[in-house]
Chain A
Amino acid sequence: GAVVSQHPSWVICKSGTSVKIECRSLDFQATTMFWYRQFPKQSLMLMATSNEGSKATYEQGVEKDKFLINHASLTLSTLTVTSAHPEDSSFYICSAPRATLNTEAFFGQGTRLTVV
């Protein structure tokens, strides 16, 4: 079964509103989680590293005020897309590494965001 759960799996929102996406590790603690963005027919691009109890580390070119990341507990990281615009429409997917198993990286099911 899934070890990383992402919610919602899809969301449609109006321009200017904010959307929150959750990523949970189900049976292990994850002090680090990763958020990726994938445009249609493209690869996964790392947006940021979510660190439990501290600020997220953003990749170059990713607006931290636009994509708010909170990692308040050892099993939950959230990505909030603020003031969403149609160009933010994309597939967002999280990953949570398991400290005791470095031979696999676990991914959530992904969230398809459509901004209208």
Chain B
Amino acid sequence: AQKITQTQPGMFVQEKEAVTLDCTYDTSDQSYGLFWYKQPSSGEMIFLIYQGSYDEQNATEGRYSLNFQKARKSANLVISASQLGDSAMYFCAMREGRKSSASKIIFGSGTRLSIRP
């Protein structure tokens, strides 16, 4: 069965510093997709970044990058130059079956990131 683990319940980071949010996963499938979502207090789920299991390059989206280490089953999110607006819950998620958009997505327990001014 697939599983997502986020070991950092909460993190405090100084504004403008970089921060790494950890995520490890477990799956027996060779084809899968990894996601990171941001959830502010409003509850909406904001898509940040996606990494496919067969993607050779680490995904990047603006200030977000995903440090994908397939052998270690690790998909850490790196936020560069953190901003006060980055304070939120962050969820790592996985979908088995890279091709199938209809496969369910499961979520890790989340990390609450707080940015200090």
Q: A104 near B102 (CB under 8 angstroms)?
A: no
Partner of B109, one of A31, A42, A93, A97: A42
Q: B43 near A97 (CB under 8 angstroms)?
A: no
Q: B43 near A112 (CB under 8 angstroms)?
A: yes
For window 5-47 of B, CB contacts with A under 8 Å fall at: 33, 35, 37, 43-45, 47
Q: What band does the interface of chain B fall in when counting residues whose beta carbon is under 8 Å from A?
A: 20 to 34
Q: Is the interface of A mostly helix, strand, loop or mixed?
A: strand
Query: Would you give the 0/1 interface string for B96-117, flagging 1 where the beta carbon is closer than 8 Å to chain A?
Result: 0011111011111110000000
Total interface residues in chain A, CB < 8 Å: 27
Query: Would you give the 0/1 interface string for A44-66, flagging 1 where the beta carbon is closer than 8 Å to chain B?
Result: 11100100000000000000000
Say whether A109 faces chain B, with CB atoms less than 8 Å apart.
yes
Closest chain A CB from B58 CB (angstroms): 14
Residue picked from A91, A106, A107, most chain B C-beta under 10 Å: A107
Q: Using a CB–CB distance below 8 Å, which chain A residues touch chain B? A: 31-32, 34, 38, 42-46, 49, 91, 93, 95, 97-107, 109-110, 112
Q: Using a CB–CB distance below 8 Å, which chain B residues touch chain A? A: 33, 35, 37, 43-45, 47, 50, 52, 91, 93, 95, 98-102, 104-110
